[in-house]
Amino acid sequence: MKKAVLVGRPNVGKSALFNRLAGRRISIVHDQPGVTRDRIEAVCKLGRAPFGIVDTGGIGASPDPDFAEATHRAADTAVEDADVVVFVVDGKVGLLPLDAELAGKLRRASRPVVLVVNKLDDPKHDHLETEFEELGFPSVVGISAAHGRGTDDLLQAIDRAMGSEVAPADLPAEVRAPRLAIVGRPNVGKSSLTNAILGRERAIVSDIAGTTRDSLEIPCDLGGHEYLLLDTAGIRHRSRHNSSVEVFSVMRSEKTIRRVDINILVIDATSGVTTQDKKIAGLIQKAKKPAIIVLNKWDLIEKQTNNDPELLREHVDRARAELFFLDYAPVVILSALTGENVRRLFTMVEKVRQHATRRAGTGELNRVLRAAMERQAPPSRGSRRFKLLYAAQAKESSNSHIAPPLFVLFVNDPRLLPESYQNYLCARIREQWEYPGLPILMRLRGREGVTQDINE
Ligand code: GDP
């Protein structure tokens, strides 16, 4: 029987989850960290096939100065034993350094990991999951072990992970490779583009909207660089399609957008940008994710316009204008069917990746911002005026492959900076450093400890 092992720092709810999966109350659940002392095993019969579950207790009661070390040790032993590691974190408390350390350890171990964000007792807590997605595990499930929310999703994720037979040699590529998602409404050509990229028939292509229901994760080589390609199900408008499968797909696509490194938004050039396309673009923009827009079915447009360069340009301009809020995303025109220009998409992906590693020099950054402020003074509020003390680009987060550039501005008072002026400063930064496909993130830090995240 395969084994799923629960790993996590004390008090994240491993015991509660264990009880939930075992269908009985065995381990002691208590609000004191580290109450569960022993390693306990049971069989979970709630999934498709029974599997063993192991709770790595024995971490020592709090206050134990060594509990971090004990957690690490417990994780080490657990992982050796596991077919699947169920890595539990506390959504309410948020991402702690010990979680990140454990994540690093688990990423290096050659076992599939399901990341479980616990204590999401209510749908309004679901956004708390986002913070953990930066840990970079492909499978993330939000649950409430106490209330039973998300148990089915978790069982499915464990089941998938158990069937996935991750060969140790394969894993590093999956861990290292940046993730790309091909997103878009049904029938725009996502599956066709996946096939064009992979050069073989992997996803099922069909004329019926919404044929591809599940997302596929495929390691692939884009012009000499390794990526992991996710082909997602079409995102549909929630209100018009309320069958549970469709709603599930939308949720998954939203999740996918937040989790991957670059979103490739496919638009059907023959129908132009629709309301639904804008919705999906909006999700990408809201998630502040790197993006590339693909205008697909260009072969048909070329036929329609008799290759008239003016008319072709108009098509691109119109799409650009409709998606003005995703202005950082470059547009690539191509035909998934004929394969024309697909390589140009590869080049663009690589360009985005390379620019994400670019750092703006601090001296130059401060000069650029000061010059911008001299050219156009920030508006004053009453007698007070915004002052920039110092700016720097934050260090790249090690967990993200393609991190959007984050600029930290130390200012007199973040509240004095209106959004329009923030956008003005972001635009000046973009003029100087370009950052194609990447949203520019800005964080303001005030003198009195007032912090405000912009674009975040
Ligand atoms: P998905 O639902 O987004 O995955 O869309 P599919 O890949 O299933 O494509 C939907 C339909 O559009 C199929 O009939 C494809 O053959 C067709 N199609 C996809 N890309 C192109 C293209 O570049 N040119 C043309 N002419 N047809 C395409």
Does 205 sit in the ligand 1 pocket, CB within 6 Å?
Answer: yes
Which range of residues forms the domain containing residue 369?
362-455
Residues 309 and 265 in one domain: yes
- Encode the chain (456 residues) as per-residue pLDDT tens digits: 889 999 888 889 988 899 899 886 554 444 444 444 456 788 898 888 889 898 875 443 344 555 667 667 767 777 777 889 999 999 999 888 888 888 878 877 778 889 999 999 988 888 888 778 777 777 889 999 999 999 988 998 898 888 754 433 334 444 557 889 898 888 999 888 988 887 754 444 443 344 343 445 677 888 788 888 875 543 333 334 444 444 445 556 677 888 789 999 999 999 999 998 999 999 999 999 999 999 999 999 999 999 999 999 999 999 999 999 999 999 999 999 999 999 999 999 999 999 998 888 888 999 999 999 999 999 888 888 888 888 888 765 444 578 889 888 888 888 888 889 999 999 999 999 999 999 999 888 876 555 555 543
Does 337 sit in the ligand 1 pocket, CB within 6 Å?
Answer: yes
Residues 208 and 345 in one domain: yes
Does 297 sit in the ligand 1 pocket, CB within 6 Å?
Answer: yes
CA nearest to 366, candidates 320, 425, 324: 425
Residue 370 neighbours by CB distance under 10 Å:
12
Instruction: Please tell me the distance between residue 192's alpha carbon and the centre of ligand 1 in angstroms.
Output: 5
Measured from the Cα of 298, ligand 1's closest atom is 23
Residues 270 and 393 in one domain: no
pLDDT at 305: 93
* DSSP per-residue codes, 329-340: SPEEE--TTT-T
Instruction: Give me the residue label for tokens 């009661």.
Output: 61
Measured from the Cα of 335, ligand 1's closest atom is 23
How many domains does the chain contain in total? 3
Q: Give me 327's structure tokens.
A: 């202005």
Residues 283 and 255 in one domain: yes
Residues 61 and 144 in one domain: yes
Cβ within 8 Å of residue 293, ≥6 positions away:
265, 267, 281, 319, 323, 326, 329, 330, 331, 332
Does 9 sit in the ligand 1 pocket, CB within 6 Å?
Answer: no
Residues 306 and 366 in one domain: no
Residues 119 and 203 in one domain: no
Instruction: Please tell me the distance between residue 184's alpha carbon and the centre of ligand 1 in angstroms.
Output: 12
Residues 352 and 370 in one domain: no
Residues 142 and 206 in one domain: no
Does 212 sit in the ligand 1 pocket, CB within 6 Å?
Answer: yes
Instruction: Please tell me the distance between residue 282's alpha carbon and the centre of ligand 1 in angstroms.
Output: 23
Nearest CA to ligand 1 atom 6: 189
The CATH number for 366's domain is: 3.30.300.20
In this structure, are residues 388 and 411 in contact, taking their beta carbons and an 8 Å threshold? yes
**157: amino acid identity, one letter:** A
Residues 212 and 148 in one domain: no
Among 322, 356, 390, identify where a domain stops. Answer: 356
pLDDT at 231: 56
Residues 339 and 416 in one domain: no
DSSP state of 372: H
**451: amino acid identity, one letter:** T
Q: Distance between CA 434 and CA 386 in Å, rounded?
A: 26
pLDDT at 30: 46
Q: Distance between CA 101 and CA 105 in Å, rounded?
A: 6
Among 301, 327, 356, identify where a domain stops. Answer: 356
Residues 306 and 210 in one domain: yes
Does 119 sit in the ligand 1 pocket, CB within 6 Å?
Answer: no
Does 271 sit in the ligand 1 pocket, CB within 6 Å?
Answer: no
List, as own/partner pairs, every contact residues 61-69 make where C-beta atoms lie below 8 angstroms and the sequence separation is at least 24, other chains included. Answer: 61/32, 61/33, 61/34, 61/35, 61/37, 62/10, 62/11, 62/32, 62/33, 62/34, 64/34, 67/9, 67/10, 67/33, 67/34, 68/9, 68/98, 68/101
pTM of the complete model beyond 0.85: no
Among 170, 194, 224, identify where a domain stops. Answer: 170
Cβ within 8 Å of residue 454, ≥6 positions away:
419, 422, 441, 442, 443, 444
| Residue 291, burial from CB neighbour count under 10 angstroms (0-12, 13-18, 19+) | buried
In this structure, are residues 136 and 400 in contact, taking their beta carbons and an 8 Å threshold? yes
Q: Distance between CA 98 and CA 90 in Å, rounded?
A: 12
Measured from the Cα of 211, ligand 1's closest atom is 2
The CATH number for 316's domain is: 3.40.50.300
pLDDT at 204: 43
